[in-house]
Amino acid sequence: MTGHPVAYSRSVITELMVPSYANFGGKVHGGTLMSLMDKLAYVCASKHAGNYCVTVSVDNVQFLRPVEVGEVVSLMGSVNYVGKKSLVVGIKVIAENLQDGVSKHTNTCYFTMVAKDVDGDTAEVPQLILESEDDVRRFCSALQRRRIREEGVTFMDAYKARFTDHFAVTELLASERCILAIENTG
């Protein structure tokens, strides 16, 4: 299986934020932006994989600034990393006010997608050809995020397994803004 350069699957979606996208506060609904990001992640991942891809997880979703109705949102996506059957698509979101020409970066997040073959089984993806310093930096960063996520899963599994330690729970919550209103069964 041969590889593809990052540029092969780099894609952009541009969309006008119409009034029906607004939430009760009059700003663009976060779910609308999530849906656009998911579509773009699908396009980039499926183009690289040459297969149908599904979303398995999303990292670093933060809405740093509100997006206004009437602004034009551009989402730029590229495959940052490939594993054996998974790919990470990095997405940068920019919102532009067409009247004053001011653009703002509203968020950058990372979609992990998994390729599937025609039978619905997970499928191997082509390698990623890194042609620039940015390509290498993004691939290495995704590798680090993957390691941190895997360590986090191991940590939380171990934590949940020893959650019956009531003394540790009471100590942990002592300075938190909650009121323990359960019987101490320890």
Ligand X SMILES: CC(C)(COP(=O)(O)OP(=O)(O)OC[C@H]1O[C@@H](n2cnc3c(N)ncnc32)[C@H](O)[C@@H]1OP(=O)(O)O)[C@@H](O)C(=O)NCCC(=O)NCCS
Contacts with ligand X by CB under 6 A lie at 54-57, 83-86, 112, 114, 122
Do 73 and 67 touch, CB atoms closer than 8 A? yes
Q: How far is the CB of 148 from ligand X (least distance, A)?
A: 12
Residue with Cβ nearer ligand X (104 or 145): 145
DSSP 80-101: EEE-SSEEEEEEEEEEE-TTT-
Identify the three-state secondary structure at position 112: strand
Q: Which residue is nearest to ligand X (CB)?
A: 83
Q: How far is the CB of 10 from ligand X (least distance, A)?
A: 20
Q: How far is the CB of 83 from ligand X (least distance, A)?
A: 2
Q: How far is the CB of 145 from ligand X (least distance, A)?
A: 10
Number of other CB atoms surrounding residue 15 within 10 Å: 15
Ramachandran angles phi, psi of 35, nearest 5°: -65, -40
Residue with Cβ nearer ligand X (17 or 79): 79
Residue 58 burial (10 A CB sphere; 0-12, 13-18, 19+)? middle
Residue with Cβ nearer ligand X (85 or 138): 85
Residue with Cβ nearer ligand X (43 or 114): 114
